[in-house]
Structure formats: structure tokens, C-alpha cells
Amino acid sequence: MNLRLLDEADALLDAAETDYRDDAEALRRIREYRRRLGEPIRVAIAGMVKAGKSTLLNAIIGEEIAPTDAGECTKVITWYRHGPTPRITMHVLGGAERSLPVRRDDGRLVIDLGGTPVEEVERVEVQWPSKRLEEVTLIDTPGIASLSTEVSARSASFLIPQDTPSEADAIIYLMRHLHSADLGFLSAFHDTSVGTSATVNALAVLSRADEIGAGRIDALLSARTIAERYRSDAALRSLALDVVPIAGLVAQSARTLRQREFDALRQIARLGRQSRERMLVSVDRFVRSDASIDVSPEDRVGLLDRYGMFGIRLSAVVIRSGCDDSTELADELYRRSGMQDLLRHVSDQFRSRADVLKVRTALTALGALIRQRPGPSSPDLANAIERLEANAHELRELSLLSAARTIGLGLAPEQAADAERLIGGSGTSARRRLGLPDDAPADDVHRSAIDALQRWRMLLGSPLLDRAALEACQVVTRTCEALVVESAPTSVQRSPLRLVQHPEPAVGGGREAQSPRDDAEDEADHQ
């Protein structure tokens, strides 16, 4: 947790409250911005209709609490927050709240609006005792590019409002293929959310990857090839941190696999090769009543609903390779679904930057408020926002990452790629920033950090750099200095890591007055 950055943002909001104490609407907004600073990061899940948004949310949480059918609840914005006990609250337009019953049907949570028209519902809030929700609030949104313009407009007004920042700090965007509507939405989200401290805060997901090639057993391999091609798309690269292929249905069902399903899948796997291949050639063949297997057609339809043809074929392969219990099968299906890669990206790019993204949202929102409703001290507040954005190194990293993905850094391609990785383009841990394996020894991390610092100091001293490249080198060098201090062995680490403000000149001549920059310089010079 970055307490210093949060404290500075909170102090700025406190000053804004004082300035707007006689403006009830402005005061309400400022208090909402402050409340958001203390909450978990908000990550919205968006995409076209039938992209698999609710299925992905269920796979992340590990329980089927997001409706996946085409019912009325998929047409409203639904928030999933952590709570001590299950609770569902409907917020209607105008501010009224109504508790809804918590009911399950065959293990799936049923959200019943009780006859309230969808157009009168502002949002539904589900509180659930899930560990995943302790650090992130997930927001399920209606599909964009829907045949119903009202449904699409509901997501658009929530995620890409005209005059205020988005309600979401970051977004996971699902797509089956890259369409112009996908790029249009991501571009609008980027333009709405960036404000004066630009960043790329979207993660693209190639969803329903198991359906590529009619659910062939190599579908995910094909999906990875497609995702790699999308990563090189200049337009998408400027709007999304990465593209991750997943089989959401397989992941969801793996997290909730039942013993009776395992028993049925094992019977299918134990069929003779010819019988099994004939049965799995198509959906029609699979559910035929004359299939030579002791699994009822109804149960087979249930397996299709839960796993799809790809999941059933994959389960048969895994079971035949030696898997002999439901827990082992669930773990293997989840591993192969791509969900672990997605969760790693969410952790590396969103959760690890939660405080920074929340502060960026608050500063953007406050800046918009100042422009819309100028107050007595608005110029002073605007200057304070500018100073915080200029001095907070984490915010400068986000801004530079956005520049790297859009206008470029003015550096040679290899240098630009190195810079993007160091400022957290592939993850914010020291090992990710330095391009090392996750299990790299601590000594290797420290040596690599020192090498990076020396490399970027040398580049920073080049007289050939233009202004943009010089500013990029300054940010990257500051990052390298922090990495040297962060990775230093305890015996030589002399002061805590400070990332928020640029280190001030040392006071006095003693070693205790040194800044982390001084420590990093000494370490690099002694190598």
C-alpha cells in the first residue's frame, strides 16, 4: 500500500472540501472521491453481448454468482463487493434501495428484480464473502453493441461518461474477435479516463477461446497465436496493456466441478477410442439417446451447458492421461483454461497499482470538478494537482507507459522496449521490471538492477536526446534507482524506498541524511 501517495491525495481532497464547503453538489462529489480512495480498486468487465463477461467473473471468484443467461439481470450493471455474508441490494433511480432475496438454483445465484423494470434500476450490488473480492471490486456490465440501444447506452454512460471520470479504475475488456466496435469502445474509455495523468488501464481478453475451430482440442493453441497477432496491432496496443486468451467456460466449471460430473466425464473417457471419437464429433452426436454410455441424455446436456464440447474433449484427454479424481481434474482444467495467466496480469497490472490508479482517478475527477464548478481557490487546487502529478513517480510511470504505447518515447526500439518493461509494462514486481524469471535469486535481481541503472544513467547523459527522450530517461533512471534500493540486501540497504516525491537534497553531511537516490548511486559506483 502506498500510504504517502494516498495521504497526499487525501490532503488535496480535504483542501477541496474546505474550498467547496458552500456547494452541496461539489461537496458530495468530493466526499465520493475520498471514499473511493479507501475502497478496493474497481475493475469493470466489459465487452460485446455474449462475450462471456459473467462467465469470466464467476471463474475469477470461483462461484456461480453472476447470471450467465439472457435474463433481465444481464441488462443491469452489477457490482460484486466483499462482505461478511451474502447480500443483494437493488439501487433504483432516484436513490432508493431495496434488499433482494439471496437464492440459489442448482448452485447458481439467482438475482430476481422482483418485477422492477430494468430501465428503473441504477445498479445491483452483490456482497459476497469471497477472498478475491477483498482487494478488488468487480463490476459486470451489459453488453455493448447490443441490438437494444438502451442496454448499450447503460454500459456506455457508466464506463465512458461525458463530463466525469469513469466509475471504474480499470477495465477487463472481452472480445471474441477484434472488431471496430471494440477499438471504438476502448478508445472512448481511454479518452474518458486518462485526464491529465494519462495511462493505459485496460486489459484485453480473447474470450471463448475454446470455441475457435469448433472446439478442437488445440483451440487454445490457436487462440494464443491470434492473441499474439493482436498484441502487435498498433491501435489495440495503444489502448490495452496486453491480450490474454482464455477459455472462460472451462475455467468457471473447473472452479465449481462436481463429483457427479467427474463420474460422467470419466465414463466418457473410458469409452473405446472409436466410440469416444464418434460421440465427441458434434453436439448432436453427443446428446443422442442411443449413445453407448451409461450417462443420460439430460446429464450430457448438462455437461454441454457447463463445459462445452471443448471442455468435455479436454476432460477426456486429461482423465485418460492419468487423472483419477475430481480435484486433480479441476486443477488441470483451470490451469489449461488460461485463467492463471489472466489473474497474474490482473495482479501485476491492476492490484499492484491499485493505490496509484485510485489516486489517478481522484485527481482526474477533482480536476474535472474544478473546471466545471470553479471555486474561490480553484487555481491553487489546480496547481496542487499538477505538482502532485509531476512529483509522484508512480503517476509519472503511468503517464510514460501511455506515451510509450501511443506517441512513442523518442528512443531506439530496443531502448524503448527496455524502458517500457522497467516502468512496469509487463508487471510491477522487481523481477518483472528487470525481465527476470519470477524465481530469480535475490542476488541476480540486485545485480540486474545495478546494471540497468548504469545503462540508463549513461543514456541520460547523451547530448543527442530530444526533450521527450530526456524526460523518458529521467523517469526510467528514477525507477532503476528505486529498484537498486528495493533489491539491496538488508545489510546494505540504508533507507526505506521513497517513490512519491523526487528526493530532496541531503541536509548535513552525515550518512543518515542520504536519500534513496544517494544510496543507489553509491551502490552502483562501488560495483
What is the per-residue pLDDT across 311-331, written as a single tens digit (0 to 9) for each?
999 999 999 999 989 999 999
Note the pLDDT of residue 1. Answer: 58
Express each pLDDT in 85-110 by its tens digit: 999 999 998 889 999 999 998 888 99
CA distance 174 to 240: 11
Fold of 41-250+339-351: Rossmann fold (3.40.50)
C-alpha cell of residue 459? 543514456
AA identity, residue 263:
D
Write down the mean pLDDT value for the chain.
86
C-alpha cell of residue 433? 521490471
CA 442 to chain CA centroid, Å, is: 28
Cβ atoms of residues 246 and 207 within 8 Å: yes
Cβ atoms of residues 126 and 161 within 8 Å: no
Express each pLDDT in 154-192 by its tens digit: 777 788 877 777 888 899 999 988 888 888 888 888 765
Note the pLDDT of residue 218. Answer: 84
Note the pLDDT of residue 70. Answer: 61
Q: Cβ contacts of residue 498 below 8 Å, gap of 6+?
A: 4, 515, 516
Express each pLDDT in 231-283 by its tens digit: 888 889 888 888 999 999 999 999 999 999 999 999 999 998 888 988 888 88
CA distance 56 to 415: 36
3-class SS at 416? helix
Cβ atoms of residues 393 and 478 within 8 Å: yes
pTM here? 0.83
Note the pLDDT of residue 194. Answer: 42
Note the pLDDT of residue 527. Answer: 52
Residue in the structure block whose three cell numbers are 436513490: 95
Q: What are phi and psi of 412, to 5 degrees?
A: -60, 155
Q: Cβ contacts of residue 442 below 8 Å, gap of 6+?
A: 487, 489
Note the pLDDT of residue 445. Answer: 96
Give me the residues of the chain with pLDDT under 70, please. Answer: 1, 70-72, 145-149, 151, 191-199, 213-215, 289, 291, 491-527
Which residues make up the CATH 3.40.50.300 domain(s) of the chain? 41-250+339-351
Note the pLDDT of residue 143. Answer: 83
Express each pLDDT in 21-30 by its tens digit: 999 999 999 9
3-class SS at 242? coil
